[in-house]
Amino acid sequence: MTLDLRVWQGDITTLPLDAIVNAANPSLLGGGGVDGAIHRAAGPELKLYCAGLGGCETGQAKLSPGFGLPSQYVIHTVGPVWHGGGQGEAEALASCYRQSLLLADAEGIVSLAFPAISCGVYGYPADQASKVAVAALRQAFEECHLSKQVWLVGFDEAQCRLWQQALAI
Ligand code: ADP
């Protein structure tokens, strides 16, 4: 049983893995940023399917097929909006990574990719978020039953550097 954490730069929608994780909004009906890119690449079937999931609370995760994506599944998780750090943002963000990894494990998913959840429109400082993410993944993996290959995706080089720094801790 191993947890293999890797950093990858680019568009998460192009990755042919068991699953990619979506930084969704609570409606699960699509939005901007990585959410918009995933819905565009998956096609309209994704929105129809997600409409039947009944939304998702912050820190929770739900599964859908990947439809037109090269990935088999999408794990939709809702990150916290950054309000300065005093409103449970770190706990909520850790819960996103934890619940997504545990959901993946329950579905037999081995390879999956995460974007930098909450680090775009939701305003979470990316250096702090990257550290929370890596710590939460390492901790949650203790409860997994299958090995995992996890791609930490940075859309740009700066985010990839932050992922590398977080992995070095
Ligand atoms: P949130 O609302 O959770 O902040 P965003 O989609 O605005 O979500 O941003 C989350 C992160 O995803 C940001 O670091 C952003 O640069 C990145 N991102 C946006 N589009 C893509 C994509 N196609 N592939 C990978 N990462 C992306």
| Gap from CA of 119 to ligand 1 centroid (Å) | 7
C-beta 99 within 6 A of ligand 1:
no
Q: Does the CB atom of residue 133 touch ligand 1 within 6 A? A: no
Q: Give distance in angstroms: CA of 122 to centre of ligand 1.
A: 10
Q: Helix or strand or coil: residue 116?
A: coil
**pLDDT (0 to 100) of residue 70:** 98
Exactly one of 4, 11, 18, 35 is catalytic; name it: 35
Give the separation between CA 112 and CA 21, rounded to whole angstroms.
Answer: 7
Ligand 1 contact via 53 beta carbon (within 6 Å)? no
What's the pLDDT at 31? 94
To which H or E segment does residue 51 belong? helix 44-51
- Reading the block at residue 90, the tokens are 């770190």
Q: Is 153 in the pocket of ligand 1 (CB under 6 A)?
A: yes
Which CATH number is 3-167 given? 3.40.220.10
Task: Supply the pLDDT for residue 43.
Answer: 98
Residue in 15, 81, 119, 160 to alter for ligand 1 test, most ligand atoms within 8 A of Cβ: 119
Check residue 169 and give its pLDDT: 87
Atom of ligand 1 nearest to the CA of 79: 3
- The whole-number pLDDT of residue 162 equals 98
Whether 35 is catalytic is: yes
Distance 110 CA to ligand 1 centre (A): 22
Question: How would you class 1 by CB atoms within 10 Å of its CB: exposed for 0-12, middle for 13-18, buried for 19 or more?
Answer: exposed
- CA-to-CA distance for 70 and 23, rounded, in angstroms? 18
Residue 90: the pLDDT is 98
What parts of the chain have a pLDDT lower than 70?
none
pLDDT digits over 7-22, tens only?
Answer: 999 999 999 999 999 9
Contact 80, 26 (CB under 8 A): no
Please indicate whether residue 13, judged by its CB atom, sits closer than 6 Å to ligand 1.
yes
